Amino acid sequence: MDLPKDKKSKKKSVLSVSSGVQQPPSVNREAFELTRKKKKKQLTAEEYVNGILNHDPVILSQAITIIESSRPDHQKTGQEIVEKCLPYCGDSVRLGITGIPGVGKSTFIEEFGFYVTSAGRKLAVLAIDPSSERSGGSILGDKTRMEKLSSDPNVFIRPSPSAGSLGGVARKTRETIFLCEAAGFDTLFIETVGVGQSETAVHSMVDFFLLLMLAGSGDELQGIKRGIIEMADAIAITKADGDNIKKSERAKIDFRNALHFYPPTESGWMPRVLTCSAVTHTSLKEIWEMVQEYIEMTLANSWFQTNRKRQSTYWMYKTIEENLKDHFYQNPSVKKKLIKMEDDVLLDKTSSFKAAYQVLEEYFKKKGK
């Protein structure tokens, strides 16, 4: 039976909490204040750069945190750090690795990464994870992934920056590449999930783009867009071990045939298809040799340099766009006007175009003052 409201609150229950007993504080205030005071002061850009050039991984991590921060003073310091690191960058191999969740990316990176470091390279693994942008959750960068690799002193692993738009996240990753290179990492893996726009972002910051695919799950293209296949310099069919070997070989032939119908690449490189297994270590050596062959070939025909230059201008424009967009959407009168115009559009009081121009007018009117 429903009780009247005032009586309801007085109703006794075995679960009722006695009033008047104060909860003890959940943090030790004194210790908290002490740790807060102990927190180091922020270093200057020079100090960060010195630490990076001395290959100090702790300073490198802290500098990346500055790059990822949206605080204006951090952004300024971040830009200075990037500028000062640039002269020490470039002599590296930047490899993009993509594939749908479950294809075996982290297992592959773990084993392939080991292979690469045992060949004497210093490896930084970065990620661009679009899921962290939308949900705060993350498909990549999970702490339990790549446990073995993270204990290798020649490896630096950094999960995806999480805040902001994909463009913003990707720009931060590109700047992180420079910091890692200045810190002595000559091999970069940039990982992403093959489900959205993030491959384009990764493609625009790497030298070689490796697409991981599963064999024989019916639709061989597995929802991977044609554009992503076109970007690939190689397709590796994963998990080619045990009962899966035959299926993987079949998929390899299918992909090789399919690639014939794709337009030739600007680099002059013929994209390759191979099978691999992170469990049996099949083709890890071949994949690394292939990447090196690609680098040699594209250095010789100048595509390598052309591509990196194009990427630099691409990121210049991208950064301008991002900044303009942020400046626009953060403008208080634009924000106010947008709410009104969105309502008007929803109520069919005005067209989308007219509404857009009115908001833009509001922005430029304020800018003109």
Nearer to ligand GDP, 176 or 282 (CB): 282
* Residue 104 C-beta: closest distance to ligand GDP, Å: 3
> Min. distance of Cβ 211 from ligand GDP in angstroms?
12
Please, are residues 183 and 53 in contact by the beta-carbon 8 Å criterion? yes
One of 78, 104, 130, 161 touching ligand GDP (CB under 6 A): 104
**Among the listed residues 176, 248, 277, 283, the single contact to ligand GDP using CB under 6 A:** 277
Query: What is the smallest separation between the CB atom of 279 and ligand GDP, expressed in angstroms?
Result: 4
* Residue 104 amino acid letter: G
d(CA 26, CA 278): 45
What residues have CB less than 8 Å from 133, skipping those under 6 apart? 162, 163, 164, 165, 166, 169
Q: Contact with ligand GDP (CB under 6 A): which of 238, 248, 267, 298?
A: 238
Report the residue from 53, 245, 259, 279 that binds ligand GDP according to the rule CB under 6 A: 279
User: Does the footprint of ligand GDP cover residue 278 (CB under 6 A)?
Assistant: yes
d(CA 72, CA 105): 35
Is 101 among the residues that bind ligand GDP (CB under 6 A)? yes
Alpha-carbon distance of 50 to 320, in angstroms, equals 29
- Identify the residue among 78, 99, 161, 168 touching ligand GDP (CB under 6 A): 99
- Residue 103 or residue 229: which is nearer to ligand GDP going by CB? 103
Q: How far is the CB of 217 from ligand GDP (least distance, A)?
A: 13
C-alpha triplet 84, 86, 89: angle, nearest 5°: 135
Q: Are 314 and 305 in contact (CB under 8 A)?
A: no
Integer Cα distance of 163 and 135 in angstroms: 11
Site for ligand GDP, rule CB under 6 A: 99, 101-107, 238-239, 241, 277-279
